[in-house]
Structure 1
């Protein structure tokens, strides 16, 4: 199964199909052509709603069976800071391979100098936890392009295996907020996700949190999500 934030590499035929959906001479066409030439991965995104989904590069809404919803995020324009984001849909047969988001030690080379020491301590402290990197830092590490800006976050995915790990891991991440601009999500066994900062704040203020999944965004409760981590 392809989960949100996973990385997906396309076959040659897949890139040809995607390139054919964009008009030549446009920024979208140029970005797709560069991704294809460099064999950079796309990122798995939430599936389009069949009734309300925006059109993809081909102009069609919805997600036909057998297709994977992917995204291409180009780096910010160095002058305007505008961000090109392309929602794409690709037949599953055109996925050459896919992987989970990047491990912490795989992105160290892309970190600004001022973040490296605290990030190294975070990596050491989180050993044994399933913590991965997505977003701007991951894309900069993958492509070598300039994604990070002064206001950028370090987006982390945390997949706890039980309630004790959930509590310990979120407190660990919170402990580095004074040194690193951390953000990101907790991913539960069902694939549902909650921003880990919201999870921490909800502990003090409210039981309800915004829950994202591969198909929807809705309100849920911390109790329901925590139950996924409890023994049957």
Structure 2
């Protein structure tokens, strides 16, 4: 199965054992995450990271590690609530595909709604209403707060939206909604094209106006591409 950035994955018991062995300094957090049955999130692959950890996990546990090449592993992570300095600690994981119990796309707008602070709710309601027919998902701090009930949002937080258009018409409609003032929300986030390639929607708007290339992120790489290359992955209507 192919996983995309921001997908949510749940680990098997063996997966958590391997993660604990690979990250002994994070034992308390990882045990809590496992006991609460919270997911981790798919991130970009980083060649070379995790190989030593995987070996340590195999040596330190009685769990049989699945035979898998690097390409079969999934790079994932956990973002923790801000610490006393305002920094957001992150735990990087490398998960064998056989250690993934289930997965889902990022949270829908509806699923993330219970975690909203009160001052965002009117605008969020309007965003939900105006986004009918568009695939908008939530990731980042709001998603983590909705998933865990931990205090992940701060006064400076944005709402990270993953917009997944299938057609050029949807792309235009979604960009108009996200960049418009009707909802009055501090939105940020990415467009994810059907190929799994993602671009900051704010950068897309700026680059399109300047006919410039955009920074594209996938699970495997970060590279520059012309907007037309990405538009070609969408249906005309």
CA contact (8 A) 1:11 1:95 kept: yes
Query: d(CA) in 2 for partners of 1:43 and 1:176?
Result: 30
Structure 1 spans left out of the alignment, 5+ residues: none
Q: d(CA) in 2 for partners of 1:182 and 1:142?
A: 19
User: Among 218, 227, 230, which residue is 2:223 paired with?
Assistant: 218
In the other structure, the counterpart of 1:9 is 10
Q: Deviations over 1:75-115 (max 9, x none)?
A: 111x2222221111111111110000000011111011100
- Name the residue aligned to 1:68: 74
1:107 is paired with a residue whose SS is: helix
Kindly report the root-mean-square deviation, in angstroms, between the aligned alpha carbons of the 2 structures. 1.8
- Give 2:165's match in structure 1, choosing from 152, 160, 166: 160
Q: Deviations over 1:114-168 (max 9, x none)?
A: 0000011001100111110001000000000000001111000111111111111
Alpha carbons 1:156, 1:183 under 8 Å: kept: yes
Partners of 1:101 and 1:230 lie apart in 2 by 23
| Conserved? CA contact 2:50–2:94, under 8 Å | no
The 3 A distance-change label for structure 1 pair 178 and 100 is: closer
Judge conservation of contact 1:57–1:87 (CA < 8 Å) in 2: no
1:29 equivalent in alignment to 2:30:
no
Secondary structure of 1:8 counterpart: strand
Partner residue of 1:58? Answer: 53
Q: Which structure has the highest helix share of the two?
A: 2
TM-score by length of 1: 0.90
Q: Indicate conservation of the 8 Å contact 2:79/2:90, yes or no.
A: yes
Output the CA distance in 2 between the equivalents of 1:211 and 1:65: 20
- Residue 203 of structure 1 deviates from its aligned partner by 2.2
Please, which runs of 5 or more residues in structure 2 have no aligned partner? 56-68
Report 1:1-232 matches (<5 A).
Answer: 1-23=2-24, 26=25, 28-49=26-47, 53-55=48-50, 58=53, 64-77=70-83, 79-176=84-181, 179-230=184-235
Partner deviation per Cα, 1:183-216 (whole Å, 9 max, x = no partner) = 0110111111110011111122233111111111
How many residue pairs get aligned? The number is 222
The 1:65/1:181 distance shift into structure 2, 3 A limit, reads same
SS of 1:200's partner is: helix
Matched position secondary structure for 1:224: helix
Structure 1 runs, 4 residues or longer, greater than 3 Å off: 53-57
* Higher relative contact order, structure no. (Cα contacts within 8 Å, ≥ 6 residues apart): 2
Checking the alignment, whether the CA contact within 8 Å between 1:207 and 1:223 is kept in structure 2 is no
In 1: Cα distance, 2:189 partner to 2:182 partner: 12
